[in-house]
Amino acid sequence: MKREYVYKGFERFWHWMQALLIIFLGFTGFEIHGSIHFFGFEQAVKLHNIAAIAFLVLIVFAIFWHATTGEWRQYLPTRKNLRAQMEYYIFGIFRNAPHPTKKTVLSKLNPLQKLVYAGLKVIVIPLMVSSGLVYMFYRYPQRYEVISLNIAGLKVVATLHTIGAFLLVAFFIAHIYLITTGSTITSNLKAMLTGYEDLPEEQPSPEKSKKSH
């Protein structure tokens, strides 16, 4: 095994801030729906809106960072080893089977992670942001009057926002479980805190080792 610097500083900051904001948005959002009671409805709405704006700012910085560093390529889905990865999580992991994909600094995600994260970034997060903004600003001030957007079914927007929230809850639960599937229960967590992770060292092929001699 070789110790590698896998997760850069901004990457870790973005990961933890995103996690905290999504948890807080979920907590206040479900209170707005009446599922829980903690802050009170009016305060929950204010806090939810503030957290939503902070989340939007974080998204802008994250998009800029991914675009300028080329890290967006990490999330490009691939079919290679996808079935093997799914079988590993369903059966192989409980039989101590070897991991079907090799993690490297240039390829941090396995095929299933790439597919799920791409879905989050392309479908779920945009759904939450767009529906949330529409719901937040369906009435807005313009000069001396309040204008309403021409939306006949605002309930549809709210329903889509709620569906997105449940998808994020499902992802969060699965994510917490998958954190424990590293070389040790805490190795993945430590890697996202420190940036460093022990990765399998690339073994030279027999032909290369013969040439070196």
What does pLDDT average to over the chain? 86
- Which tops the pLDDT comparison, 213 or 92? 92
pLDDT digits (tens, 9 = 90+) for 5-54: 999 999 999 999 999 999 999 999 999 988 889 999 999 999 999 999 99
For the chain, list the domains and their CATH numbers.
Answer: 2-202 (1.20.950.20)
pLDDT single digits (tens) 183-194 = 788 888 999 999
pLDDT at 138: 79
Place of tokens 């027999």: 206
pLDDT band with cut points at 50, 70 and 90 for residue 140: low
pLDDT tens-place string over residues 72-83? 999 998 888 899
What does the pLDDT read at residue 209? 46
Contact 195, 9 (CB under 8 A): yes
Q: Specify the pLDDT at position 94.
A: 84
Give, as one character, the DSSP assignment of residue 12. H
Share of the chain above pLDDT 70, in %: 87
- How high is the pLDDT of residue 1? 75
pLDDT tens track for 52-65: 999 999 999 999 99
* Coil, strand or helix at 34: coil
Helices 154-179 + 125-136 axis angle, to 10: 140
More confident residue, 70 or 201: 70
Please give the pLDDT value at position 205.
45
**Burial annotation 25-40 (CB, 10 A radius, 16+ → b, else e):** bbbbbbbbeeeeeebe
How far apart CA 148 and CA 150 sit, in angstroms, is 6
CA distance 110 to 82: 8
pLDDT at position 96 over 90: no
Specify whether the CB–CB gap between 161 and 135 falls below 8 A.
Answer: yes
Report residue 151's pLDDT band, with 50, 70 and 90 as the boundaries: low
Mean pLDDT of 131-139: 83
Q: At what angle do helices 187-194 and 9-32 cross, to 10 degrees?
A: 110
Q: What is the pLDDT of residues 83-93, one digit of tens each?
A: 999 998 888 88
For 44, counting Cβ atoms within 10 Å of its Cβ (0-12 exposed, 13-18 middle, 19+ buried), the class is buried
Tell me, what's the pLDDT at 69?
Answer: 94
The answer to whether residue 146 scores a pLDDT higher than 70 is no
Q: Which residue has the higher pLDDT, 209 or 141?
A: 141
Pair 39, 47: CB distance under 8 Å: yes
